[in-house]
A and B are shown apart, each in its own frame.
Chain A
Amino acid sequence: MTTPREEPARVLVTKLGLDGHDRGSRVVAAFLRDAGMEVIYTSPWQEIAAVVQLALQEDVDVIGISSLATDHLLVPKLTMALAEAGLGHVRVVVGGIVPDEDESMLLDAGVSRVFHPGSTREEITTKVDELARRARDRRMS
């Protein structure tokens, strides 16, 4: 990764809703760390208000939501809450099991990318790094 040592991307990896399977998010957290990013990692079942407060305090660039079941249906509420808190520059990605018919709904709600099962380490880390840069640029302007 080309980001300088003192400016690693800061990424939150978390889960909303009710699902508790976190093998995927732990593996992704390790990928991002190995790509030179700082990953703030939480336990599952986060409330939207808690995610917003965390994103604010930790000055994150990207939020990665790991989703199984229908938890992804909560993500539009998150993107709205982030915008209301002045965090509209923060990019949001969703990974996990997302039915095709919901993917465009998520993108319309402000999600930058949906990662389906089978996404490689390379795809994920490259995209997240790119989104982190964009988030920082947006905040400066």
Chain B
Amino acid sequence: MSQARSETDPIGALLRGEPGALARAISNVERRNAAGRQALASIGPHLGRARVIGVTGVPGAGKSTLISRYVGELRRMDMRVGVIAVDPSSPVSGGAVLGDRIRMAEHATDAGVFVRSLASRGQAGGLAPVATHVVDLMDAAGWDRIVIETVGAGQGEIDIADAADIRIVVCAAGLGDDVQAIKAGILEIADVLVVNKADLDGGATTVNQLESMLALRAESARDVSVYKTTATTGEGVAELAGGIETRLAAQTTRGVRSPKRVRRLLAAAAGNHLAKRLRDCDDPWLMSICESLQSGALDLEGAAQQVLRSGRISDE
């Protein structure tokens, strides 16, 4: 039975594209266990085919329906598509309700579409590292295009965008004054802006507002395309998909490989390890620093410097 074989050779099964092996590898990587680290260490030579598209947008923009249609276009182009749908974990319970698959129902029995729901699990350094790991696993398993879906327009979404080659922000038509309100932040780093529900009143106005906003930017920051779509009917989605492919082809260096991105990803990955270590470790060296901090013998900056100088912050 294939399950037994893949259990004995999980990396091989992953590289053959077996969905069960990919799913389990993703779980291991999320849990940061030895099997996960081993998988990441083994797949290096097999990376490079996939391209990553990050999609975010505020609730009500119809982003999920749009993504489902976009995936349909990619399938028509004969590409295998991975979707990583990210939702926040509850800071109180640590649990999460992951509902992004609801609007992907049309692909539910298509073996060429692999959808994985990820909860943020309280990562201090942001989710880009774990998303990057999942992307790499999907890449190694033979998926061509990987969509990372997040909801919102805040810092968390900006951080995850580091894992994507092309960053897309979806707005709803009739955004009005909200364009002004959200122009700082996620809109600044978008490569592609989509005005969805473009059939509604205000569709053309919203496009105009976005284009005016772009025109005010410095020349170097103006290479942003604006598309109009109506996700419910699929109108405009083929053009959007074509436009994304054009941009991907034009990237001489992949977006995720730019020097700044690489630096930020490294900072986030290292930061996550450090934060986890400090949260979970009860060793005497750390406890004594904490006690000094509590009693006021050490100030916060001093304590942080001591931790970094300690030589014990790796968890291996």
Q: Interface size on A (CB < 8 Å)?
A: 32
Which residues of chain A are near B108, meaning CB under 8 Å?
46-47, 49-50, 53-54
Which residues of chain A are near B117, meaning CB under 8 Å?
38, 40, 58
State the Cβ distance, B295 to closest chain A Cβ, in Å: 28
Q: Which of A1, A36, A38: most chain B CB closer than 10 A?
A: A38
Kindly state the separation between the CA atoms of A47 and B26 in the bound complex, as whole angstroms.
25
What mask results when residues 26 to 42 of chain A are scored 1 for a CB within 8 Å of chain B, else 0?
00011011111111111
Chain A residues numbered 32-80 whose CB sits less than 8 Å from any CB in chain B:
32-43, 46-47, 49-50, 53-54, 56-59
- With A6-B30, A6-B121 as given contacts, are A36 and B94 in contact (CB-CB < 8 Å)? yes
Q: A33 near B90 (CB under 8 angstroms)?
A: yes
What residue of chain A has the Cβ atom nearest to residue B2's Cβ? A86
**Contact of B109 with A by CB under 8 A:** yes
Kindly state the separation between the CA atoms of A8 and B31 in the bound complex, as whole angstroms.
9
- With A41-B98, A56-B19, A57-B114 as given contacts, are A86 and B3 in contact (CB-CB < 8 Å)? yes
Q: B101 near A59 (CB under 8 angstroms)?
A: no
What residue of chain B has the Cβ atom nearest to residue A32's Cβ? B95
State the Cβ distance, B109 to closest chain A Cβ, in Å: 5
**Contact of A23 with B by CB under 8 A:** no
Given A40-B101, A59-B23, 4 new contacts (CB under 8 A): A6-B121, A33-B96, A38-B119, A41-B102
Q: Which A residues fall within an 8 A CB radius of B?
A: 1, 5-8, 29-30, 32-43, 46-47, 49-50, 53-54, 56-59, 85-87
| Pairs across A and B, CB under 8 Å, 21 listed | A8-B89, A8-B95, A8-B119, A30-B97, A32-B95, A33-B93, A33-B95, A33-B97, A36-B95, A38-B89, A39-B95, A39-B97, A39-B98, A40-B101, A46-B108, A54-B108, A54-B115, A56-B23, A57-B23, A85-B20, A86-B2
Q: Which B residues fall within an 8 A CB radius of A?
A: 1-3, 19-20, 22-24, 26-27, 30-32, 89-90, 92-99, 101-102, 105, 108-109, 111, 114-117, 119, 121-122
